[in-house]
């Protein structure tokens, strides 16, 4: 299954370790993570010279190509919000996860789209459980 992973690059990298954990976990389960570069520590550096249009077209095409999206939304990000909104509009199954205790946008928590799931987590183990339940639901 092709998964689009969305996490903040320009908006802040304070949850980078979570991105790395999540992408590695998905790949170890055999999923193709189209946007695995988001978890790379060099993501900002790697994209700094890319033309904005190229990044936009690549990411939009990946969202269209994916079979599901997982977005880590603990760090506010315009790009993540755009990708999440696009995926929901396209009817893709979307899971937004965020660290327990954080306040996130009501544009996520208030969305009642049937293809959207939102979950909190307080540990890597709990995050893995949320992701596994979401993916298991898709394959049943």
CATH number for position 56: 3.40.50.450
Q: How many domains does the chain have?
A: 1
Average pLDDT estimate for 95-103: 96
Residue 74's domain comprises: 2-139
pLDDT at 42: 66
| Mean pLDDT computed over every residue of the chain | 92
pLDDT at 48: 76
In what side-by-side order are the strands of the sheet with 116-121? 32-33, 2-6, 68-72, 94-99, 116-121
CA-only gyration radius of the chain, Å: 14
For residue 44, pLDDT beyond 70: no
pTM of the complete model? 0.93
Average pLDDT estimate for 18-41: 91
Average pLDDT estimate for 98-113: 95
């Amino acid at each position: 299954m092709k998964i689009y992973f969305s996490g903040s690059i320009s908006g802040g990298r304070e949850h980078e370790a979570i991105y790395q954990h999540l992408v590695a976990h998905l790949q170890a389960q055999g999923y193709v993570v189209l946007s695995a570069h988001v978890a790379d520590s060099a993501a900002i550096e790697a994209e700094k010279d890319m033309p904005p249009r190229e990044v936009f077209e690549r990411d939009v095409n990946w969202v269209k190509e994916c079979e599901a999206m997982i977005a880590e939304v603990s760090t506010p990000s315009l790009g993540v919000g755009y990708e999440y909104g696009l995926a929901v509009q396209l009817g893709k199954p979307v899971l937004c996860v965020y660290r327990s205790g954080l306040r996130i946008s009501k544009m996520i928590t208030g969305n009642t789209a049937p293809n959207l799931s939102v979950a909190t987590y307080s540990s890597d183990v709990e995050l893995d459980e949320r992701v596994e339940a979401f993916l298991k639901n898709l394959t049943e």
